[in-house]
Amino acid sequence: MNNLKTSTAMLAGYRVLDLSDNKAYTCGRFLASLGAEVIKVEKPNCSGGQSEFALPAAKWLANNVGKKCITLNLEHEKGREIFGQLATKVEFIIESYKPGFMKEIGFDYPQLQKLNAGIILISISPFGQTGPYSQFLGGELVASGMGGTLDTCGYPDDTPVLEALDACIFHANAAASLGAMLAHRERGISGIGQYVDCSIQE
């Protein structure tokens, strides 16, 4: 793999492609903290993480600490070709696109497994990849409200209060990271990867 393999960190020597936006930045950060080499894939001209969900620079840096960064346009044929090559050289991929996008560009989990049988694909989205709400948009406030967390904060006779920071997104990323590590452990036995689908609302 790389020179990280000499480290005692749990994921030393393993590589991650992080295709996420702010709904899933933290998952890659967790894997980086475990020793993985995390490569953040940004759209060209995105100004350091300033995607459709704009983040202050300090917040972007805090959630992407420990990662390397490249730009790649997955909506372009050449970009998809390069991504396919990269997918054969990594053990994990994190994505937070709208459900169905990875299939549209030819890189849903079955296709990725053909390229790399051991790949672990981690998808983090507002409502998961399937079901009646899967195509709905949503962020922290929507997940907190529809997940029930918002109902538990504040006073009963006053307006609901959102938890500090992005608590629901943070916990979803922690759950996705745990799922990825369980899949990683099983891969050590079978050699086969898995698909981790995490709904922020759930």
Share of the chain above pLDDT 70, in %: 91
Tell me: pLDDT of 188 over 70: yes
What are the tokens at 16? 């991650």
Rg (CA), the chain: 17
pLDDT of residue 106: 96
> With bands split at pLDDT 50, 70 and 90, how would you rate the model's confidence at 156?
confident
Average pLDDT, the chain: 90
Q: Quote the CA–CA distance of 33 and 84 in Å, as a whole number.
A: 26
Tell me: pLDDT of 16 over 80: yes
